[in-house]
Amino acid sequence: MADQKHSGPWITAYCDGGSRGNPGPAGYGVYLEDEQGQKVDELYEFLGVKTNNVAEYSGLLAALEFALEEGHPCLRVVADSELMVKQMQGKYRVNSPDLRPLYDEAKRRVARLDGFRIEHVLRGKNKHADRLANLAMDEGTRKTVSRPRPASSPASSPAATPAAPAPATTGSLFAQPPASRPAPPATPDRPILGFVKGGVVHLVEGELPEGTFVRITRERK
């Protein structure tokens, strides 16, 4: 099924996915063009903390969904993930429990197309998709952690002092709860729990609402 060859019209999807840390903050990018090489659309999305391979498959699934929803019956996929390409071609087995459901869903979507091809290229020939994947990771990381807004202090209060600047993002964001006890819900006086690894903040559970400002502090020993 991965090598269906039908007459067009065809669109080409250049797909890429990445993870900074593997697993770490991840995203995918898809650049689509028509048979004349003209841009059709571009897609990208931040995925949270995932592996490189999950990000690669997420990009493939996004390309397939676009082709199906936008009425493009024939899709050619170009990707620099040799593992994903050869799995979709039936040359490699899919042993990973994380990748198996993504692979199965990709095959289901491929079966709904009139034509499908997938091929491997080196990263240097996949620059548009690589740029979009990095854009997704950049934007997602900025939304996850933002600098705290200084607390406003009434001028009439002599005891008020400006908020201290946030320390460097090393060490822990907050102490992690014991593994045997779930993290309590966030309240104004109880922060969401997380930690810093490789310069990136990771939440233990849950998500920060849009517009949330966080203060990064070292864990007290």
Separation CA 93–CA 103 (nearest Å): 10
pLDDT tier at 143 (50, 70, 90 boundaries)? confident
Please indicate, yes or no, whether residues 158 and 135 belong to a single structural domain of this protein.
no
Q: What share of the chain is helix, strand, coil (3-state, %, to 5)?
A: 25, 25, 50
pLDDT digits (tens, 9 = 90+) for 47-103: 999 999 999 999 999 999 999 999 999 999 999 999 999 999 999 999 999 999 999
What's the mean pLDDT in 110-130? 97
CB 33 within 8 A of CB 76: no
- Number of domains into which the chain is organized: 2
pLDDT digits (tens, 9 = 90+) for 33-43: 999 999 999 99
**Where in the sequence is the domain holding 126, given as residue range(s)?**
10-143
Above 70 in pLDDT, residue 5?
Answer: no
pLDDT tier at 148 (50, 70, 90 boundaries)? very low
Residue 4 placed within a domain: no
pLDDT at res. 165: 42
Domain boundary among 86, 120, 143: 143
DSSP state of 99: T
Above 60 in pLDDT, residue 137?
Answer: yes
Burial 179-201 (b: 16+ CB within 10 A, else e): eeeebeeeeeeeebbbbbeeebb
Domain boundary among 124, 143, 162: 143
Separation CA 35–CA 40 (nearest Å): 10
CB 43 within 8 A of CB 29: yes
pLDDT tier at 134 (50, 70, 90 boundaries)? very high
Please indicate, yes or no, whether residues 157 and 70 belong to a single structural domain of this protein.
no
Residue 3 placed within a domain: no
Above 60 in pLDDT, residue 46?
Answer: yes
CB 136 within 8 A of CB 43: no
pLDDT at res. 63: 98
pLDDT at res. 4: 56
DSSP state of 190: B
What's the mean pLDDT in 104-133? 97
Please indicate, yes or no, whether residues 20 and 60 belong to a single structural domain of this protein.
yes
Separation CA 17–CA 56 (nearest Å): 4
How far are the Cα atoms of 4, 50, 196 from residue 26, in angstroms, in the given order? Answer: 31, 6, 16
Residue 167 placed within a domain: yes
For the chain, report the end-to-end CA distance as a whole number of angstroms.
57
pLDDT digits (tens, 9 = 90+) for 165-208: 443 333 333 333 333 334 444 544 445 556 555 556 666 555 66
| Residue 77: partners with Cβ closer than 8 Å, 6 or more residues away | 12, 13, 15, 60, 63, 88, 116, 117, 118, 119
Please indicate, yes or no, whether residues 136 and 157 belong to a single structural domain of this protein.
no
Residue 1 placed within a domain: no
3-state secondary structure of 150: coil
Residue 187 placed within a domain: yes
Domain boundary among 82, 114, 143: 143
Question: What CATH number is attached to the domain comprising 106?
Answer: 3.30.420.10
pLDDT digits (tens, 9 = 90+) for 151-162: 444 443 344 444
Q: H or E element: which one contains 52?
A: helix 52-69
Please indicate, yes or no, whether residues 83 and 107 belong to a single structural domain of this protein.
yes
pLDDT at res. 216: 63
pLDDT at res. 195: 56
Separation CA 98–CA 100 (nearest Å): 6
Separation CA 123–CA 199 (nearest Å): 26
Above 60 in pLDDT, residue 125?
Answer: yes
